[in-house]
Amino acid sequence: MTLNFTGKEKAMTIIYVKTVIHRNEKRIKLIFDYDAGLIREVRKIPGCRWSQTMCCWHIPFRMDYLTYLVEQLGNFEIVYKEPPLQLRGGLKASDIERKKINVIYNKREGLYYIKIPFYKKDEIKKLEGAWWHPGAKEWSVYANQENRHQLKEIFKQENYILSFVEDEADIPKKTISKKKPIPELVEKKFEDEMIIRNKSHRTIATYKSLVNQFLNHFQGSKIKMLPAEKIKEYILERLNIDHYSRSYQNQLINALKRYYEYVHNREFEDFDLPRPKKRQRLPNIISREDIQRMLDVTRNMKHKTLISILYGCGLRLSEVISLKMEEIDFNMKVMYVTGKGDKQRMIPIGNNLGKQIKTYQKSYLPKVYLFNGQNSLKYSGKSIQSIVQNKALEVGIKKKVTPHTLRHSYATHLLEDGVDLRVIQELLGHASSKTTEIYTYVSRKNLMNIRNPLDNLRI
């Protein structure tokens, strides 16, 4: 269709217009060659936006859009046309071909899952078993012949084509590091020995990384017979130049000791390296009132469930990231958590948390892990840290609040409620009771019973 509003087509600017569904909203695409003056006028149209994916400007749909455009762009002589199959300036044939909608068939649940344009919701509601999942932003309906036929009918007259496919778990995308990788020099024997000794995946990865940096630093030297003084100089250089922490120093010494012990059968009695004294710090906790306020301001169901589990079960960040749906038993009201050293423990979830997790699952439809990321099976640790920190700031908590702060608060509040220290040790997955005993120093219940000596004096 060509609409010539002025009768001077050769001298006119051509705007190709097309009705599209963009982000579940009906819009009008405006495609034209670059013209700074025209762009300024187009941007003045209410609701006009630029689409990076479509490479064009687009405006809200209205039935009289051609007349409306003439009114809005009256200062320009314009011919309005429907786009051809190929158009110079980035438009492809796929822009006007029928768009594909995948209907995911979940055989285990007996459901079809489908993401549809928003204006089709009233028709989808009529299907048997129709249910809206706001977190996943998709509908589910019973997977039967009648619904399959109805879905085809709904989109029969539309610019869409349905494709029924089997459900598959998300495949995590490989992340591409921008840094130039350090050549891998660690012998496989080192990793094998750590696996045999049941070291955790995280410990193995850390030790391998530290030893690999060490081997690259002394590349060309006889590593097995390297003098202890040279090794000591290397460690001190890392501390002085890179300003690493006490914890890093201990990890580096442990990694090198294990490497020489496992690979070169060399003991470290002659290795005179002073261990840094570990600072004794009290755990950072927040009050029950603060946690309640954080939950109250959290509207996003996924974020609320994350905070609830971190505090309600005292999980480490790595544990909540790796938590699978199959590890939650709603009948027994417990979850099975695999912690450090591949040790599994059982944690009660109670009534409130159990209901919260069920509601979240129904909305967000996680597949393998309870919390899925946008582009991977697992949720990002940095994302979880940001969620907790932002909610703490939102309610006015001045101190730094991390996921581990919620774990510390969980243990302290259990102690204040009279739970035995040995039970708390098991719930937290501590190997030593000494680690758990530190919570006795921050229990408000014990501290509140102490009378300040100044109370006996007049001031």
Three-state SS for 64-91 is CHHHHHHHHCCCCCEEEECCCCCECCCE
Please tell me which residue, 266 or 241, carries the higher pLDDT value. Answer: 266
At residue 136, the pLDDT reads 81
Instruction: Give just the sign of the alpha carbon dihedral 66, 71, 73, 77.
Output: positive
Q: State the pTM of this model.
A: 0.56
- Alpha-carbon distance of 314 to 405, in angstroms, equals 9
Gyration radius of the chain over CA positions: 31
pLDDT at 252: 85
Quick: pLDDT tens for 384-422.
999 999 999 999 998 999 999 999 999 999 988 888 989
pLDDT recorded at residue 244: 64
Q: What is the 3-state secondary structure (H, E, C) of 258-276?
A: HHHHHHCCCCCCCCCCCCC
Q: Is the pLDDT of residue 6 over 50?
A: no
pLDDT in tens, 312-368: 999 999 999 999 999 999 999 999 998 887 789 999 998 999 999 999 999 988 888
Average pLDDT, the chain: 80
Residue 101 clears pLDDT 60, i.e. is over it: yes
Percent of the chain with pLDDT over 70: 79
φ, ψ (nearest 5 deg) of residue 60: -60, 145
State the Cα angle at 106 between 105 and 110, rounded to 5°: 100
User: Which of 13, 157, 110 is closest to 5 using CA atoms?
Assistant: 13
Q: What DSSP line would sit under 360-427, residue for residue?
A: HHHHH---SBSS--SSSSSPPHHHHHHHHHHHHHHTT--S---HHHHHHHHHHHHHHTT--HHHHHHH
Query: How many helices (DSSP H) and strands (DSSP E) are in the chain?
Result: 17, 14
- Which range in 233-237, 243-247, 258-262 is most confidently predicted, on average pLDDT? 258-262
Q: Which phi and psi (to 5°) does residue 2 adopt? A: -120, 125
pLDDT at 131 over 80: yes
Joined together, the tokens standing for residue 446 give 């014990």
Least confidently predicted of 39-43, 52-56, 168-172, 298-302: 168-172
**Model pLDDT, residue 379:** 87
The residues assigned a catalytic role are 316, 340, 404, 407, 430, 439
Given a cut of 60, is residue 286 above it in pLDDT?
yes
